[in-house]
């Protein structure tokens, strides 16, 4: 008999805290760095004519499970259809015998594990006295990056810019109501970054939004939005003068924020300081002094989805949540 546990988005949210997710993602990087994981190449299909993306990420992590995530991203969904931009599922299989174990909503896990990756990076790369955050993009990741940061640093204020002013206004209302933070909407990207200790870029932009002259010494940057070929949020000169840390060197060179700097010859592969897993494992030091600019380029790797989803699955079994179906 093959029983599969089905978990909805609301059940996933009730089961797991952001602290749980940050811990699961840090463990994902640790396993990845130790060689206890194997990842398949990312499959990305641009849905031409519909302004959509279809993506598959898969692999396995020893001590956890096999995992496959299938997601779609349609940036205009909300305004056109009243639907979320991101939707998808994660399928878990038993690592020992391959049996399907669970099917989970993938949108919340994707959003929260991406936020958690930013928090893990900031834990090792941001100055310990970082308090002020500048956010470019008042969407899902603009929220989850800050939510996760509050788990690892004593953040007290956020400035946010979005090209759609009403989105920034809604962000301020929601984030002030949820966290003990001073949240302010700004009229320009430059204003959002003034005085920031940590910069978060979380847009689907294909051209620079953040200019080199706006980035001061000692800042940490979580570059989140560039996750497919052609996307870019930072002036390449920023990349060239930063200590660059990536989630996956191969992925980031092809599809991350650093892709443009690499193409222009401003950054060579050997100039990438580290993959985040190397720093988590202690093989390399994170921030060395208060003046350096650190940059985390995040494209998202399957180990993050697998450890997070498996954590949710174990909690669901413990709490007897979800619906079980018999496939035979």
Question: Which long-range contacts (C-beta less than 8 Å, at least 24 apart) are formed by 58-63?
Answer: 58/302, 59/302, 59/303, 59/306, 60/95, 60/306, 61/28, 61/31, 61/32, 61/36, 61/37, 61/303, 61/306, 61/307, 61/310, 62/31, 62/36, 62/37, 62/95, 63/31, 63/36
Neighbours of 294 (CB within 10 A): 24
Torsion angle defined by CA atoms of residues 209, 210, 213 and 219, in that order, rounded to the nearest 10 degrees: 180
Torsion angle defined by CA atoms of residues 139, 143, 148 and 149, in that order, rounded to the nearest 10 degrees: 100
Per the annotation, the verdict on 69 as an active-site residue is yes
Within a 13 Å sphere around the CA of 276, how many CA atoms are in the beta-carbon half? 33
Considering the candidates 69, 159, 231, 243, report the single residue annotated as catalytic: 69
| Catalytic residue annotation | 69
């Amino acid at each position: 008999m093959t029983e599969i546990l089905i978990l909805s988005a609301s059940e996933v949210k009730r089961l797991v805290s952001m602290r749980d997710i940050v811990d699961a993602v840090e463990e994902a990087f640790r396993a990845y760095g130790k060689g206890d994981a194997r990842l398949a190449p990312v499959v990305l299909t641009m849905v031409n004519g519909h302004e959509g993306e279809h993506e598959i990420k898969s692999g396995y992590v020893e001590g956890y499970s096999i995992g496959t995530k299938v997601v779609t991203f349609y940036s205009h969904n909300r305004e056109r259809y009243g639907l979320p931009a991101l939707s998808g599922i994660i399928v878990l299989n038993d690592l020992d015998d391959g049996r399907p174990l669970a099917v989970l909503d993938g949108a919340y896990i994707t959003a929260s594990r991406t936020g958690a990756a930013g928090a893990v990076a900031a834990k090792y790369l941001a100055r310990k006295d970082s308090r002020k955050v500048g956010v470019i993009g008042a969407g899902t990741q603009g929220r989850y990056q800050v939510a996760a940061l509050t788990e690892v640093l004593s953040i007290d204020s956020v400035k946010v810019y979005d090209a759609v002013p009403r989105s920034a206004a809604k962000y301020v209302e929601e984030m002030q109501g949820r966290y003990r933070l001073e949240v302010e909407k700004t009229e320009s990207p430059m204003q959002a970054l003034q005085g920031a200790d940590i910069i978060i870029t979380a847009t689907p932009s294909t051209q620079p939004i953040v200019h080199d002259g706006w980035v001061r010494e000692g800042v940490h940057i979580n570059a989140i939005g560039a996750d497919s070929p052609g996307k870019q949020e930072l002036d390449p000169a920023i990349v060239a003068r930063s200590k660059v840390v990536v989630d996956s060197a191969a992925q980031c060179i092809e599809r991350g924020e650093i892709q443009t700097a690499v193409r222009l010859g401003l950054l060579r592969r050997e100039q990438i300081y580290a993959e985040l897993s190397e720093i988590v494992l202690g093989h390399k030091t994170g921030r060395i002094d208060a003046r350096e600019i650190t940059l985390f380029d995040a494209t998202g790797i399957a180990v993050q989805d697998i450890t997070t989803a498996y954590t949710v699955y174990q909690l669901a079994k413990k709490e007897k949540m979800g619906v079980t179906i018999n496939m035979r």
